[in-house]
Amino acid sequence: MLKNIILMGPPGAGKGTLAKQLKTAFNLTHISTGDMFRENIKGGTELGLLAKKYIDDGHLVPDEVTIGMLKDRLAQEDCANGFLLDGFPRTLPQAEALEKLSKEINRPIEVVVNLDCDNQELIRRISGRRVCKNCGAPYHITTMKPKVEGVCDLCGGPLYQRADDNEEALKVRLDHYVHDTKPLLDFYAERGLLENFNSLMGSQELFNQVSTFLNK
Ligand code: AP5
């Protein structure tokens, strides 16, 4: 099975949703740089205060900060049996740093799963997304409702709307995706690592297709 995996795609494509399904099914370590920043913001750390200035407006956190945080995380023991990178890399310097680091620690990237989705659907998903404050599980107010309104099915935590899930910040996030992150698809295609999936299908069908591919 392929196990050191990068999940790519624009904001709202379903990276976090798919990562949580794959993590459970295949016992992989889920590393979301967005979640790591949000944890730091919640904890009021120095890193969190710095990251918040960028994240709330939809901008990328500077490369040196993000790369340093990822380097520490990827070298940890729980990544030895396989990991899912969700939200990293997002720029060419991040992709180059990851390539170097993964060789150094002998944890090479085996596949890049890219989720395609059109802008209209991304806006629909982001504007209706609610997230669990405790465990980060994602929901949608019309298409992925929790059993009890406002309450996480998995841990009973309260659901909230992310500060950057508004129209203005989303426009900035989509611009960063097009200019900074989308070019990385060529970077990974040249290395024979890229595998594209259409994320317009429902989350269960997407999970089934990606799982079948990873198990080949
Ligand atoms: P991050 O948390 O990574 O946000 P993102 O990339 O914008 O992605 P999202 O979490 O918004 O969407 P997703 O693709 O995970 O979709 P989800 O599964 O939730 O980053 C946040 C910020 O942190 C960045 O803007 C930046 O400032 C900073 N940052 C993070 N990493 C960085 C880095 N490497 N460098 C610099 N800065 C960095 O799904 C969305 C909705 O759709 C949900 O409601 C869900 O229920 C629904 N849904 C999901 N899948 C499906 C499906 N298949 N069908 C129908 N609905 C679905």
Cα–ligand 1 centroid distance for 198 (angstroms): 16
Contact 93, 63 (CB under 8 A): yes
- Give the C-alpha separation, 70 to 31, whole Å: 9
Report pLDDT for 216. Answer: 81
Q: Which residues neighbour 163 within 8 Å (Cβ) at sequence distance 6 or greater?
A: 55, 56, 169
Residue from 86, 144, 159 to probe ligand 1 pocket by mutation (most atoms less than 8 Å from CB):
144
Residue 57 near residue 172 (C-beta atoms within 8 A):
yes
- pLDDT at position 118 is 94
Q: Give the model confidence (pLDDT) of 99-113 as tens digits.
A: 999 999 999 999 999
Q: What is the pLDDT of residue 1?
A: 87
- Tell me, using a 6 A CB cutoff, whether residue 40 lines ligand 1: no
Cα 84 to Cα 22, 58, 120, 139: the distances in Å are 8, 23, 27, 20
Domain annotation for the chain: domains and CATH numbers? 4-119+181-214 (3.40.50.300)
The minimum-distance atom of ligand 1 relative to the CA of 162 is 11
pLDDT of residue 49: 96
Q: What is the pLDDT of residue 79?
A: 94
Residue-level pLDDT at 2: 81
Residue ranges for the chain with pLDDT beneath 50? none
Alpha-carbon span 196 to 212, nearest angstrom:
14
| pLDDT score, position 18 | 97
pLDDT at 204: 95
